[in-house]
Amino acid sequence: MESLADYFKVFSEPNRLTVLETLRTGPLNVTAVVEKTGLSQALVSKHLKLLTIAGVVRRRPEGSLVFYEVIDKGVFQLLAQARKLMLASRRQQLDALAAIL
Amino acid sequence: MESLADYFKVFSEPNRLTVLETLRTGPLNVTAVVEKTGLSQALVSKHLKLLTIAGVVRRRPEGSLVFYEVIDKGVFQLLAQARKLMLASRRQQLDALAAIL
DNA sequence: TCACGTCATAACGACAACGTGATACTACAT
DNA sequence: ATGTAGTATCACGTTGTCGTTATGACGTGA
């Protein structure tokens, strides 16, 4: 996690966001995430690793399972704020378009 | 701007963030941004275009100059919140490391 | 009209990220 | 010890993104 840009990059991938959303309600093991998302196991594993490296998620082995959980639920606030800004931008775009027509 | 991930992608590039920061204090024309950042003119133009498409920035031609300005300064709050989370993650990482050693 | 400053775009090469299929590794049960 | 379920990783091909160089387009003033 070098720069701020790198941090944003963590959330700039649809499947990774999907995986992250999966953990909103609580810890899950890899297979559970796979089933919830429909993504391949290898892919889920990769994204979880990235999220772990980024410090967004914590890895907790338990027997033969490995559970992952969001460390700071504040990330979801970040997602929410970004979504809000995005929608506002979209509205503004439409207004600008309407002004032309 | 299809998905939320795409929106995050806008902020996931160091040079693009640099360009955006340049506009924090107010509108600037392209050449001014080029001088402030030290990036090539073509590159600045590209990033500004992307920021415009994303609805983060507004393009305003004025004579032979083209000014760009941030539409919703709330984006800087987003940057700030992300930075805060990033630093918190970093602290947590170090704590986890310290616990091992 | 011509030249110049400003900005945008095209074409290209370099490199990174994504997803997949196959394989290794681990813990546990038989 | 062998098998099995769960997880991680490797190697690979594909695609996307970044930055550069060169060129095009536009407005302005001489």
Fold of B4-71: Arc Repressor Mutant, subunit A (1.10.10)
Task: Report domain extents, chain B.
Answer: 4-71
Q: CA angle at residue A33 from A29 to A37, to 5 degrees?
A: 175
Residue pair A11/B79 in contact (Cβ under 8 Å)? The answer is no
Residue B92 to residue A101: CA distance in whole angstroms: 52
Torsion B88-B92-A80-B47 (CA) sign: positive
How many CB atoms sit inside 10 A of residue B35's CB?
Answer: 13
CA-to-C1' distance for A19 and D8, Å? 17
Chain B residues with beta carbon closer than 8 angstroms to that of A55: 86, 88-90, 92-93
Please compute the mean of the pLDDT values over residues B19-48 and round it to a whole number.
98
What's the pLDDT tens digit per position in A62-72? Answer: 999 999 999 99
What number is the ipTM of this complex? 0.92
Give pLDDT, residue A96.
74
